[in-house]
Protein backbone atom coordinates (compact mmCIF):
# COMPACT_ATOMS: atom_id res chain seq x y z
CA UNK A 1 0.00 0.00 0.00
CA UNK A 2 1.27 3.45 -0.91
CA UNK A 3 2.00 5.94 1.88
CA UNK A 4 0.35 8.67 -0.18
CA UNK A 5 -1.89 8.26 -3.19
CA UNK A 6 -3.36 11.01 -5.34
CA UNK A 7 -5.93 9.75 -7.83
CA UNK A 8 -7.13 11.81 -10.77
CA UNK A 9 -6.77 15.14 -8.95
CA UNK A 10 -8.25 18.21 -10.60
CA UNK A 11 -8.20 21.70 -9.07
CA UNK A 12 -10.02 24.61 -10.61
CA UNK A 13 -9.58 28.07 -9.12
CA UNK A 14 -11.63 31.13 -9.92
CA UNK A 15 -9.55 33.63 -11.90
CA UNK A 16 -10.97 36.82 -10.42
CA UNK A 17 -9.06 39.13 -12.76
CA UNK A 18 -10.63 37.59 -15.86
CA UNK A 19 -13.85 36.39 -14.27
CA UNK A 20 -13.16 32.89 -15.59
CA UNK A 21 -12.05 29.57 -14.18
CA UNK A 22 -8.46 28.46 -14.05
CA UNK A 23 -7.54 24.79 -14.44
CA UNK A 24 -4.59 24.64 -12.05
CA UNK A 25 -4.14 20.91 -11.47
CA UNK A 26 -5.02 18.77 -14.47
CA UNK A 27 -5.72 15.11 -13.68
CA UNK A 28 -2.74 14.30 -11.50
CA UNK A 29 -2.02 10.77 -10.33
CA UNK A 30 0.81 10.21 -7.89
CA UNK A 31 1.74 7.33 -5.64
CA UNK A 32 4.46 7.72 -3.01
CA UNK A 33 5.77 4.59 -1.28
CA UNK A 34 6.71 4.49 2.39
CA UNK A 35 10.10 5.95 3.24
CA UNK A 36 10.55 7.69 -0.08
CA UNK A 37 11.78 11.29 -0.15
CA UNK A 38 9.83 12.71 -3.06
CA UNK A 39 10.71 16.15 -4.37
CA UNK A 40 7.89 17.86 -6.20
CA UNK A 41 9.74 20.05 -8.69
CA UNK A 42 8.38 22.67 -11.05
CA UNK A 43 8.33 26.36 -11.91
CA UNK A 44 6.70 28.90 -9.64
CA UNK A 45 2.92 28.85 -9.97
CA UNK A 46 2.63 25.34 -11.47
CA UNK A 47 0.59 24.05 -8.53
CA UNK A 48 3.13 22.41 -6.21
CA UNK A 49 1.82 24.09 -3.05
CA UNK A 50 -1.74 23.36 -4.09
CA UNK A 51 -0.96 19.63 -4.36
CA UNK A 52 0.99 19.62 -1.09
CA UNK A 53 -1.82 21.45 0.70
CA UNK A 54 -4.24 18.81 -0.54
CA UNK A 55 -2.10 16.05 0.96
CA UNK A 56 -1.95 18.10 4.18
CA UNK A 57 -5.74 18.39 4.11
CA UNK A 58 -5.63 22.20 4.07
CA UNK A 59 -7.11 22.37 0.60
CA UNK A 60 -9.68 20.20 -1.19
CA UNK A 61 -9.55 18.97 -4.77
CA UNK A 62 -12.26 19.94 -7.23
CA UNK A 63 -12.34 16.23 -8.03
CA UNK A 64 -10.22 13.18 -7.30
CA UNK A 65 -9.13 11.54 -4.07
CA UNK A 66 -6.18 11.84 -1.70
CA UNK A 67 -5.35 8.84 0.47
CA UNK A 68 -2.76 8.53 3.21
CA UNK A 69 -1.88 5.01 4.37
CA UNK A 70 -4.81 3.68 2.36
CA UNK A 71 -7.41 5.98 3.92
CA UNK A 72 -9.12 8.80 2.10
CA UNK A 73 -8.38 12.01 4.01
CA UNK A 74 -10.97 14.61 4.95
CA UNK A 75 -8.73 17.25 6.56
CA UNK A 76 -5.48 17.79 8.45
CA UNK A 77 -4.33 15.04 10.81
CA UNK A 78 -1.54 14.07 13.20
CA UNK A 79 -0.34 11.48 10.67
CA UNK A 80 1.03 14.36 8.55
CA UNK A 81 3.52 16.97 9.77
CA UNK A 82 3.93 20.18 7.78
CA UNK A 83 6.88 22.55 7.42
CA UNK A 84 6.20 25.89 5.75
CA UNK A 85 8.38 28.29 3.79
CA UNK A 86 8.25 30.71 6.72
CA UNK A 87 8.69 29.00 10.06
CA UNK A 88 5.44 30.56 11.37
CA UNK A 89 6.50 30.36 15.02
CA UNK A 90 4.50 31.94 17.80
CA UNK A 91 6.59 34.93 18.91
CA UNK A 92 5.39 34.80 22.51
CA UNK A 93 6.49 31.18 22.96
CA UNK A 94 10.08 30.02 23.35
CA UNK A 95 11.69 27.22 21.33
CA UNK A 96 10.46 24.23 23.28
CA UNK A 97 7.01 25.75 23.80
CA UNK A 98 6.68 26.30 20.04
CA UNK A 99 7.77 22.73 19.28
CA UNK A 100 5.38 21.22 21.84
CA UNK A 101 2.43 23.53 21.21
CA UNK A 102 0.20 20.71 19.90
CA UNK A 103 0.68 18.91 23.24
CA UNK A 104 -0.33 22.03 25.13
CA UNK A 105 -3.53 22.08 23.08
CA UNK A 106 -4.00 18.41 24.00
CA UNK A 107 -3.86 19.40 27.68
CA UNK A 108 -0.38 18.05 28.52
CA UNK A 109 1.50 19.62 31.42
CA UNK A 110 4.51 21.86 30.86
CA UNK A 111 6.87 19.14 32.07
CA UNK A 112 5.32 16.57 29.74
CA UNK A 113 5.64 19.02 26.83
CA UNK A 114 9.22 19.77 27.70
CA UNK A 115 10.11 16.09 27.95
CA UNK A 116 8.46 15.25 24.62
CA UNK A 117 10.16 18.18 22.86
CA UNK A 118 13.69 17.39 24.06
CA UNK A 119 14.63 14.57 21.63
CA UNK A 120 13.47 16.71 18.72
CA UNK A 121 15.40 19.73 20.01
CA UNK A 122 18.49 17.50 20.02
CA UNK A 123 17.68 16.09 16.58
CA UNK A 124 17.65 19.53 14.97
CA UNK A 125 20.67 20.66 17.01
CA UNK A 126 18.95 23.35 19.06
CA UNK A 127 20.28 22.14 22.42
CA UNK A 128 21.03 25.22 24.55
CA UNK A 129 18.44 27.31 22.75
CA UNK A 130 15.37 25.78 24.41
CA UNK A 131 14.42 28.99 26.19
CA UNK A 132 15.15 31.39 23.35
CA UNK A 133 12.31 33.26 21.67
CA UNK A 134 11.79 33.38 17.86
CA UNK A 135 13.06 36.99 17.68
CA UNK A 136 16.40 35.75 19.02
CA UNK A 137 16.81 33.03 16.36
CA UNK A 138 18.41 33.13 12.91
CA UNK A 139 16.33 32.07 9.89
CA UNK A 140 17.97 28.64 9.84
CA UNK A 141 17.32 28.09 13.54
CA UNK A 142 13.69 29.14 13.16
CA UNK A 143 13.30 26.55 10.39
CA UNK A 144 14.87 23.91 12.65
CA UNK A 145 12.15 24.72 15.19
CA UNK A 146 9.55 24.33 12.42
CA UNK A 147 11.01 20.93 11.48
CA UNK A 148 11.10 19.74 15.11
CA UNK A 149 7.50 20.86 15.57
CA UNK A 150 6.45 18.89 12.47
CA UNK A 151 8.25 15.76 13.69
CA UNK A 152 6.94 15.92 17.27
CA UNK A 153 3.97 13.59 16.90
CA UNK A 154 6.02 11.09 14.85
CA UNK A 155 3.89 11.52 11.73
CA UNK A 156 4.27 8.87 9.03
CA UNK A 157 4.40 11.65 6.44
CA UNK A 158 6.30 14.95 6.46
CA UNK A 159 5.24 17.64 4.01
CA UNK A 160 7.63 20.51 3.30
CA UNK A 161 6.89 23.59 1.21
CA UNK A 162 10.17 25.23 0.13
CA UNK A 163 11.34 25.31 3.76
CA UNK A 164 14.83 26.55 2.90
CA UNK A 165 13.92 29.05 0.17
CA UNK A 166 14.40 32.08 2.43
CA UNK A 167 17.77 30.98 3.85
CA UNK A 168 21.22 32.16 2.75
CA UNK A 169 23.17 29.80 0.50
CA UNK A 170 25.49 28.39 3.19
CA UNK A 171 22.70 27.81 5.73
CA UNK A 172 20.61 26.20 3.00
CA UNK A 173 23.34 23.64 2.28
CA UNK A 174 23.74 22.87 6.00
CA UNK A 175 20.00 22.43 6.45
CA UNK A 176 19.76 20.20 3.38
CA UNK A 177 22.53 17.94 4.68
CA UNK A 178 20.92 17.83 8.09
CA UNK A 179 17.52 16.98 6.68
CA UNK A 180 18.94 14.09 4.65
CA UNK A 181 20.76 12.84 7.74
CA UNK A 182 17.58 13.01 9.88
CA UNK A 183 15.62 11.25 7.15
CA UNK A 184 18.25 8.49 6.84
CA UNK A 185 18.20 7.87 10.58
CA UNK A 186 14.48 8.07 11.17
CA UNK A 187 12.93 7.21 7.79
CA UNK A 188 9.38 8.27 7.11
CA UNK A 189 7.82 9.48 3.90
CA UNK A 190 8.66 13.01 2.79
CA UNK A 191 7.12 15.20 0.11
CA UNK A 192 9.30 18.26 -0.43
CA UNK A 193 8.21 21.09 -2.73
CA UNK A 194 10.93 23.00 -4.53
CA UNK A 195 11.47 25.00 -7.73
CA UNK A 196 15.23 24.25 -7.59
CA UNK A 197 16.56 21.39 -9.71
CA UNK A 198 19.72 21.37 -7.56
CA UNK A 199 17.74 21.04 -4.36
CA UNK A 200 15.57 18.24 -5.79
CA UNK A 201 18.66 16.27 -6.86
CA UNK A 202 20.44 16.76 -3.53
CA UNK A 203 17.46 15.75 -1.40
CA UNK A 204 15.20 13.43 -3.32
CA UNK A 205 15.09 9.68 -3.64
CA UNK A 206 12.51 10.51 -6.32
CA UNK A 207 11.68 13.63 -8.26
CA UNK A 208 8.23 14.34 -9.68
CA UNK A 209 8.53 17.00 -12.37
CA UNK A 210 5.52 19.26 -12.87
CA UNK A 211 4.58 21.41 -15.84
CA UNK A 212 2.89 24.78 -15.63
CA UNK A 213 -0.66 25.56 -16.65
CA UNK A 214 -2.13 23.20 -16.65
CA UNK A 215 -0.26 21.64 -13.73
CA UNK A 216 0.57 18.06 -14.55
CA UNK A 217 3.15 15.60 -13.39
CA UNK A 218 5.22 15.08 -16.50
CA UNK A 219 7.75 12.59 -15.19
CA UNK A 220 8.49 10.61 -12.04
CA UNK A 221 12.21 9.99 -11.78
CA UNK A 222 13.58 7.44 -9.32
CA UNK A 223 17.13 8.46 -8.49
CA UNK A 224 18.22 5.39 -6.50
CA UNK A 225 21.33 7.22 -5.35
CA UNK A 226 23.76 5.63 -2.96
CA UNK A 227 23.64 7.64 0.25
CA UNK A 228 26.76 8.27 2.32
P1 LIG B 1 3.45 26.73 -6.78
O2 LIG B 1 3.44 26.19 -5.39
O3 LIG B 1 3.91 25.73 -7.80
O4 LIG B 1 4.21 28.02 -6.88
P5 LIG B 1 0.65 27.22 -6.29
O6 LIG B 1 0.10 25.89 -5.98
O7 LIG B 1 0.92 28.15 -5.15
O8 LIG B 1 1.94 27.03 -7.21
O9 LIG B 1 -0.33 27.95 -7.29
C10 LIG B 1 -0.70 27.41 -8.54
C11 LIG B 1 -1.56 28.36 -9.29
O12 LIG B 1 -2.83 28.48 -8.63
C13 LIG B 1 -1.00 29.77 -9.35
O14 LIG B 1 -1.34 30.29 -10.60
C15 LIG B 1 -1.73 30.51 -8.23
O16 LIG B 1 -1.83 31.87 -8.49
C17 LIG B 1 -3.08 29.82 -8.27
N18 LIG B 1 -3.72 29.82 -6.94
C19 LIG B 1 -3.21 29.28 -5.83
N20 LIG B 1 -4.05 29.44 -4.79
C21 LIG B 1 -5.12 30.10 -5.30
C22 LIG B 1 -6.34 30.57 -4.74
N23 LIG B 1 -6.63 30.38 -3.46
N24 LIG B 1 -7.21 31.21 -5.57
C25 LIG B 1 -6.93 31.38 -6.87
N26 LIG B 1 -5.80 30.96 -7.47
C27 LIG B 1 -4.90 30.35 -6.69
P1 LIG C 1 4.23 30.18 -3.66
O2 LIG C 1 4.50 30.51 -5.09
O3 LIG C 1 5.36 30.49 -2.76
O4 LIG C 1 3.67 28.80 -3.47
P5 LIG C 1 1.91 31.86 -3.91
O6 LIG C 1 2.24 33.30 -3.98
O7 LIG C 1 1.56 31.12 -5.16
O8 LIG C 1 3.08 31.15 -3.13
O9 LIG C 1 0.70 31.62 -2.90
C10 LIG C 1 0.74 32.11 -1.59
C11 LIG C 1 -0.65 31.98 -1.00
O12 LIG C 1 -1.59 32.79 -1.71
C13 LIG C 1 -1.20 30.56 -1.05
O14 LIG C 1 -1.90 30.30 0.16
C15 LIG C 1 -2.14 30.55 -2.22
O16 LIG C 1 -3.20 29.64 -2.01
C17 LIG C 1 -2.64 31.98 -2.25
N18 LIG C 1 -2.83 32.45 -3.63
C19 LIG C 1 -1.95 32.36 -4.65
N20 LIG C 1 -2.44 32.88 -5.77
C21 LIG C 1 -3.67 33.32 -5.47
C22 LIG C 1 -4.68 33.97 -6.21
N23 LIG C 1 -4.56 34.25 -7.52
N24 LIG C 1 -5.83 34.31 -5.57
C25 LIG C 1 -5.98 34.00 -4.27
N26 LIG C 1 -5.06 33.40 -3.52
C27 LIG C 1 -3.92 33.06 -4.10
pLDDT at 227: 57
Q: At a CB cut-off of 8 Å and minimum separation 6, what does 16 contact? A: none
pLDDT at 213: 84
Residues lining ligand 1, CB < 6 A? 13, 24, 42, 44-50
pLDDT at 226: 63
Atom 13 in ligand 1: residue holding the nearest Cα: 45
Q: At a CB cut-off of 8 Å and minimum separation 6, what does 6 contact? A: 28, 29, 30, 31, 51, 54, 55, 64, 65, 66
**Ligand (nearest to CA of 44):** 1
Work out the number of other CB atoms within 10 angstroms of the CB of residue 176.
18
β-pair partners for 222: 206
CB contact at 8 A, 195 and 43 = yes
pLDDT at 1: 86
Give 216 Cα–ligand 1 centroid separation in angstroms: 14
pLDDT at 219: 93
Strands 206-211 and 216-222, bridge-based pairing: antiparallel
Q: From the CA of 43, give the closest atom in ligand 1.
A: 3
Residuewise pLDDT in 10s, the chain (228 residues)? 899 999 999 999 988 888 999 999 999 999 999 999 999 999 999 999 999 999 999 999 999 999 999 999 999 999 999 999 998 999 999 999 999 999 999 999 999 999 999 999 998 999 999 999 999 999 999 999 999 999 999 999 999 999 999 888 999 999 999 999 999 888 899 999 999 999 999 999 999 999 998 899 999 999 977 654
| Sheet with 216-222: strands ordered across | 80-83, 157-161, 189-194, 37-41, 206-211, 216-222
Amino acid sequence: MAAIELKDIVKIYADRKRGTELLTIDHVDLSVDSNEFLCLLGPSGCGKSTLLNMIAGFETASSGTVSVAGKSITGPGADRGMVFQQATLMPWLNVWENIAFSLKLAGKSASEQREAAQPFIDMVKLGGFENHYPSELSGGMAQRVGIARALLLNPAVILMDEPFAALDAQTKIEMQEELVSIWQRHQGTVVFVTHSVDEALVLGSQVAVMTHRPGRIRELIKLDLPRP
